[in-house]
């Protein structure tokens, strides 16, 4: 597999610690440290150079372009002139910093000319670049907003049309986060990531995530693109799992997060349009998460009987047409069995009747558990009850103490201040809880349950077990459980798989393939 490299830029968005140890610990491949002076104030470049061997970028992002600097032109130019004496690069905004009086004090090789603005057409971006390029600089940076999928594609198309090694282009906001990962493969020389958890702009990932989840600065060969579609999705550990496995197994793929406001627009603008294929990186497969698992089933040309029974899909794979499957049933059942919970014969309840909840219910039912559905909205709950032929009760009437297995399958729990769908204090002492939500730390529901010495299964365990089958469908390769556990930071030995393997696929009209 051929490999090249890009260069990472670590953006300092909060004041550094007194000893600056976080700067010393930056991942290998970080060639630039960007000081967002509008956010952290004026720092001593000599102090920074004692802790960082790479080059320094000075940025004073204006309020007009999403930053915090609101001072006047004279004050702004004064700070640039001081920075030019001690920094390697100075970020100049094309719309306000290119006067001859300032440019005369900044050599061209110290200039990074930038523009951050609203979504723009390819023609508009091209015209803007041509105007910027009239001023000599080391780098040119164009960052339009992406409020929908079509907005995100255009800066990548700009890179393909220009084919230059001095143009940085990607889309901002969560909907454009994935473009930051494709841009270096289309010629963008730098990839920006925040040094800490505070992003410099919406959609910016941390340098640590760029290195761990996406393998940067290495640019391994990519013949096809995979990704996870959802809202929200930037917290997902799926890119870490899939990309780490690609690197370990030599799969020529890249797996990215697609934060999507409208699945229909995403499908039309990115998938059916074939726009990624036009960029040389065709889309081969998608993981689908909340709230789009049900609509994902409707766009596929072929779907498995199990996905049809659930009424939702978490996996879309392109062969001759898009095929839909659900590997979610394995996720819950195998995670419980790994925790030593006997599923067969257990009284179980699934709280939440979206795509994830219905898949969990089917998995438990197939494993021999008695299953009840619970949902806050009675109409949706009764609909799921009829589809799956399982009993239903409204959330208002739900008593978690009546069940041996309780699965939390709502979207609640990403934030500590989220309302919980039920009181964990009402769980029976011998119960087992599965919280399908996960984050950087255990959810409040998980922590409060474990505090009572009750078995509580982390959503990462569910992610792992559903991903094994999903990885096989997408790549035709086996993802071994020990590797998956290592990538997700989970401990434990291989589990014995139960017989819930995907059935033979069939078309929506019932014809076998």
Q: Residue 29 is part of a domain; what is its CATH number? A: 3.20.20.70
Domain residues for the domain of 379 are 330-463
pLDDT at residue 98 above 70? yes
CB-based contacts of 240, cutoff 8 Å, min separation 6: 212, 213, 487, 488
Residue 416 located in a structural domain: yes
Answer yes or no: do 144 and 18 share one domain.
yes
pLDDT bucket at 197, cuts 50 / 70 / 90:
very high
The verdict on whether 293 is a catalytic residue reads yes
Q: In angstroms, rounded to a whole number, what is the distance separating the alpha carbons of residues 254 and 281?
A: 9
3-state SS track over 39-80: HHCCCCHHHHHCCCCCEEEEECCEHHHCCCECCCHHHHHHHH
Answer yes or no: do 210 and 87 share one domain.
yes
Q: In angstroms, rounded to a whole number, what is the distance separating the alpha carbons of residues 396 and 375?
A: 9
pLDDT at residue 60 above 60? yes
Residue 357 located in a structural domain: yes
Q: In angstroms, rounded to a whole number, what is the distance separating the alpha carbons of residues 114 and 65?
A: 10
Residue 325 located in a structural domain: no
Considering the entire predicted model, what is its pTM? 0.91
CB-based contacts of 63, cutoff 8 Å, min separation 6: 69, 70
pLDDT bucket at 201, cuts 50 / 70 / 90:
very high
CB-based contacts of 415, cutoff 8 Å, min separation 6: none
Lowest mean pLDDT among 30-39, 105-114, 222-231, 441-450: 441-450
Query: 84 — phi, psi (to 5°)?
Result: -60, -25
Q: Residue 379 is part of a domain; what is its CATH number? A: 3.40.50.720
Number of domains in the chain: 2
Mean pLDDT of the region 222-234: 96
- DSSP 3-state of 369: coil
Q: What residues pair up with 36 in beta bridges, in sequence order?
A: 59
Answer yes or no: do 152 and 24 share one domain.
yes
* Among the listed residues 16, 66, 13, the one whose alpha carbon sits nearest the alpha carbon of residue 39: 13
Q: What residues pair up with 225 in beta bridges, in sequence order?
A: 254, 283
Tens of pLDDT, residues 468-480: 999 999 999 999 9
Mean pLDDT of the region 166-183: 98
CB-based contacts of 259, cutoff 8 Å, min separation 6: 174, 175, 177, 203, 230, 231, 232, 233, 234
Residue 480 located in a structural domain: no
Mean pLDDT of the region 285-306: 95
Residue 389 CB coordination number (10 Å): 8
Residue 483 located in a structural domain: no
Residue 499 located in a structural domain: no
Count Cα atoms within 13 angstroms, Cβ side, for 376: 10
Q: Last residue of a domain, which of 175, 192, 221? A: 221
Which one is catalytic: 209, 293, 358, 508? Answer: 293
> pLDDT value at position 441?
77
Q: In angstroms, rounded to a whole number, what is the distance separating the alpha carbons of residues 70 and 38?
A: 9
> pLDDT value at position 507?
32
Let me know the angle formed at the C-alpha of 408 by 396 and 489, rounded to the nearest 5 degrees: 160
What region, left, alpha or beta, does residue 448 occupy, with left being phi > 0 and alpha being psi -120 to 50 degrees?
alpha
Residue 489 located in a structural domain: no
Residues counted in the chain: 513
Residue 175 located in a structural domain: yes
pLDDT at residue 439 above 80? no
Q: Last residue of a domain, which of 221, 248, 279? A: 221
> pLDDT value at position 3?
67
pLDDT bucket at 411, cuts 50 / 70 / 90:
confident
């Amino acid at each position: 597999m051929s490999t090249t490299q890009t260069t990472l830029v670590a953006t300092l968005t909060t004041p550094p610690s007194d000893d600056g140890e976080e700067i010393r610990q930056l991942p290998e491949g970080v060639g630039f440290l960007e000081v967002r002076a509008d956010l952290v104030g004026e720092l001593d470049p000599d102090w920074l150079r004692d802790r960082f061997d790479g080059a320094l970028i000075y940025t004073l992002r204006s309020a007009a372009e999403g930053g915090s600097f609101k001072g006047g032109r004279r004050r702004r130019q004064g700070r640039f002139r001081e920075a030019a004496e001690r920094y390697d690069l100075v970020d100049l905004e094309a719309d306000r910093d290119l006067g001859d009086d300032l440019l005369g004090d900044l050599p061209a090789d110290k200039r990074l000319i930038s523009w951050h603005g609203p979504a723009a057409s390819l023609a508009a971006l091209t015209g803007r670049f041509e105007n910027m390029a009239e001023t000599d600089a080391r780098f040119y940076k164009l960052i339009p907003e992406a409020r929908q999928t079509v907005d995100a594609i255009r800066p990548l198309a700009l890179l393909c049309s220009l084919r230059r090694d001095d143009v940085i282009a990607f889309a901002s906001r969560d909907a454009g986060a994935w473009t930051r990962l494709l841009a270096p493969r289309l010629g963008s020389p730098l990839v920006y990531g925040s040094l800490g958890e505070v992003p410099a702009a919406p959609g910016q990932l941390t340098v640590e995530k760029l290195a761990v989840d996406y393998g940067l600065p290495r640019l391994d060969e990519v013949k096809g693109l995979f990704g996870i579609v959802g809202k929200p999705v930037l917290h997902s550990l799926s890119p870490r799992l899939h990309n780490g496995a690609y690197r370990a197994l030599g799969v020529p793929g890249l797996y990215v997060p697609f934060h999507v406001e409208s699945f229909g627009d995403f499908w039309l603008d990115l998938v059916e349009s074939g726009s990624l294929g036009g960029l040389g990186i065709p889309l081969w497969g998608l993981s689908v998460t909340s709230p789009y698992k049900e609509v994902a089933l409707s766009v596929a040309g072929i779907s498995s009987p199990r996905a049809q029974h659930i009424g939702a899909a978490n996996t879309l794979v392109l062969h001759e047409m898009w095929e839909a499957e659900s590997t979610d049933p394995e996720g819950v059942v195998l995670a419980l069995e790994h925790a030593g919970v006997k599923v067969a014969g257990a009284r179980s309840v699934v709280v939440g009747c979206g795509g994830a909840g219905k898949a969990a219910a089917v998995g438990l039912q197939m494993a021999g558990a008695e299953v009840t559905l619970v949902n806050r909205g009675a109409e949706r709950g009764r609909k799921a009850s009829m589809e799956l032929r399982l009993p239903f009760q409204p959330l208002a009437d739900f008593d978690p103490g009546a069940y041996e297995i309780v699965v939390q399958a709502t979207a609640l729990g990403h934030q500590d201040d989220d309302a919980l769908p039920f009181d964990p204090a009402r769980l029976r002492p011998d119960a087992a809880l599965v919280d399908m939500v996960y984050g950087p730390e255990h959810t409040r529901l998980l922590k409060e349950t474990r505090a009572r010495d009750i078995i509580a299964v982390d959503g990462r365990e569910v992610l792992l077990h559903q991903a094994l089958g999903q990885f096989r469908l997408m790549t035709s390769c086996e993802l071994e459980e020990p590797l998956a556990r290592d990538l997700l930071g989970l401990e434990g030995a291989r589990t014995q798989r139960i017989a819930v393997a995907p059935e033979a696929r069939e078309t929506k009209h019932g014809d076998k393939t």
